[in-house]
Amino acid sequence: MTIRQLRTLVAIADTKTFSEAANVIHVTHAAISQQMRALEAQLDIELFDRSTRTPELTPAAHLIVAKARTLVDAYDNLVPSALGDGGLRGIVTLGALRTTLTGLTPKAMAALKSKYPEIGLHIRPGLTGALLTEIERGGLDAAIVIKPNLMPADITFRELAQEPMQLIASVDETEVDPVVLLKSRPFIRYDRNAVAGTLIDNWLTSKRIQVAETMELDSPEAIVSMVHARLGVSIVPDLAVKPFDTVPVKRIGLGSDAPIRTLGLVYRNNQVKKRALDELFDALAHVIEMSPK
């Protein structure tokens, strides 16, 4: 039995299919099958029910996966833990919201790498819910997320910034009342599967504002581009760190009771790369502090 085999088994458990697991760990589907056949032979246990179209984990396999996660995690953190460097060498896997990928994340990672060049960074984009799930599974060391209503157990959330929502319209829009604009212009909705999308939807409901929705997008950059092209108005976060290249749009505040999302860094409470994550948090916080308001 090898760490590679256990890592593959965990990937299959997380992704539910051999094909997706192959994509995650960057091997072929045939290699996945070969590893699992070898592992079953070594353990003398059937790990998969192959009577179904997509092989499913057996009850015994689910128990082994739980132990395998602990072993893989311990292996990945063996050197940092033994040397006491807290992860300042080796790989740190970071999840990041897409809204941070063109401003906050690259600036902070550049600062971190400049100070600690021996840290390797693997960055994976995603929505808050999916990133928190990966943190719980051990698939990520940390993630930049929006604070949800309910924080999973054994997860630390460290606040970075408060980002109020704002209305955006094309630069040649003459109306400045956000309620009038929302009621009279086509509305481009922020994905309701995102925490920000839910905050926006709840605010519209509380204000009894009926919008004429024309599309729903999960990309803030795409939303801004659509608004810039005069296809409607939208509500998006006022980012703590603006993107490098900002498409010109008119930005209008929603008032004192505008919905606010809380941006922060999350990681498991028992994270052994604590020093590296402290440095990561400091880099993010410094970039936010120095960013023009």
Quote the pLDDT of residue 240: 94
Average pLDDT, the chain: 88
Q: Are residues 286 and 177 part of one domain? A: no
Task: Domain of residue 35: give its range.
Answer: 3-76
Quote the pLDDT of residue 83: 47
Q: Are residues 61 and 133 part of one domain? A: no
Q: Are residues 25 and 151 part of one domain? A: no
- Mean pLDDT for the stretch of residues 218-226: 90
Q: Are residues 242 and 112 part of one domain? A: no
Place 203 in a pLDDT band, splitting at 50, 70 and 90: very high
pLDDT single digits (tens) 13-70? 888 888 888 877 777 888 888 888 998 898 888 888 888 777 788 888 888 888 888 8
Among candidate residues 53, 76, 99, the one where a domain is terminated: 76
Q: What is the CATH number of the domain that holds 245?
A: 3.40.190.10
Least confident of 44-53, 165-174, 188-197, 279-288: 44-53
HEC secondary structure over the chain? CCHHHHHHHHHHHHHCCHHHHHHHHCCCHHHHHHHHHHHHHHHCCCCEECCCCCCEECHHHHHHHHHHHHHHHHHHCHHHHHHCCCCCCEEEEEEECHHHCCCHHHHHHHHHHHHCCCEEEEEEECCHHHHHHHHHHCCCCEEEEECCCCCCCCEEEEEEEEEEEEEEECCCCCCCCHHHHHHHCEEEEECCCCHHHHHHHHHHHHCCCCCEEEEEECCHHHHHHHHHCCCCEEEEECCCCCCCCCCCCEEEECCCCCCEEEEEEEEECCCCCHHHHHHHHHHHHHHHHHCCC
Place 85 in a pLDDT band, splitting at 50, 70 and 90: low
Domain count, the chain: 3
- Mean pLDDT for the stretch of residues 78-100: 74
